[in-house]
Structure 1
Amino acid sequence: MVRLRLVSPHYHTQYSESIKVLDGTFVGSADDRSVRLGPGDEVSVPPRMVHSWGPVQEPVRMVLEIRPAHEGFEKWLTSS
């Protein structure tokens, strides 16, 4: 489990990021649009699209997919 409060606006040059919420509510922004995801909702962020996540107020179960896999992202998750 990763505890996520707030991820500042950023973008990735080498990979895309997609999130599918299983339980709870996940908020943020992608491409200057507010994002509010509930169970079953998904968002995909292609390379170079500015996005931010949070603040997350309650537990959320989600699937986070990075394509292609990126070792640096995994290290960031384990250090958060």
Structure 2
Amino acid sequence: MPPHTDHPDPSAPIPGYALAPDEGVDGRGPEVKCSDRSTAGSLAIYRTVVDGQGPPPHRHTREDETIVVLDGTVQAECDDEVWTGGPGTTFFLPRGRTHTFRSIDGPATILFIITPGHLDEFFRLREEVTDPAEVAALVQRFF
């Protein structure tokens, strides 16, 4: 298990849960529907709005990303391939491949799914730091 993971033992049973549309997991905002901690590392799910450019092109060594478009239009790039889709479209961006995504013609609401979920800790910790050196250290730690 990666050293930055501090969720419970993944072999131990974890509780199920249900969240209302405006509710997130304990200690997180309403956009965080499943976290590294709440799923013992199996996945993280966010319901979020992308308005224009998403993350810069990047590559993960351990995580896959899946995007399900709920509203609006999203364009995703994975290596040399580019796809565009509206509500109901699913994009799978596998580990080891350079990828990014953005909304087209206004905001888009998406479900953003990361498997396994430990990259969620990067996003949680990223909210707490503002110093560029600390951000760089986090990127080095998780990517």
**TM-score, normalization by structure 1:** 0.78
Q: Which amino acid aligns with 1:46?
A: P
Pair 1:5 & 2:52 matched:
yes
CA 1:3 to 1:75, structure 2 compared with 1: closer, same or farther past 3 Å? farther
- The structure where strand makes up a greater share of residues is 1
Consecutive unaligned residues in structure 1, runs of 5 or more: none
**Quick check: 2:76–2:91 contact (8 Å CA) kept in 1?**
no
Larger Rg: 2
Paired position in structure 1 for 2:77? 29
Q: CA deviation at 1:2?
A: 5.0
Pair 1:53 & 2:112 matched:
no
Aligned length: 78
Consecutive unaligned residues in structure 2, runs of 5 or more: 1-47, 129-143
CA 1:10 to 1:73, structure 2 compared with 1: closer, same or farther past 3 Å? same
Q: Specify which structure has the bigger relative contact order, considering alpha-carbon pairs within 8 angstroms and separated by 6 or more residues.
A: 1
Paired position in structure 1 for 2:89? 41
**TM-score, normalization by structure 2:** 0.47
Identity of aligned residues (%): 31
Aligned with 1:29: secondary structure?
Answer: strand
Aligned with 1:23: secondary structure?
Answer: strand
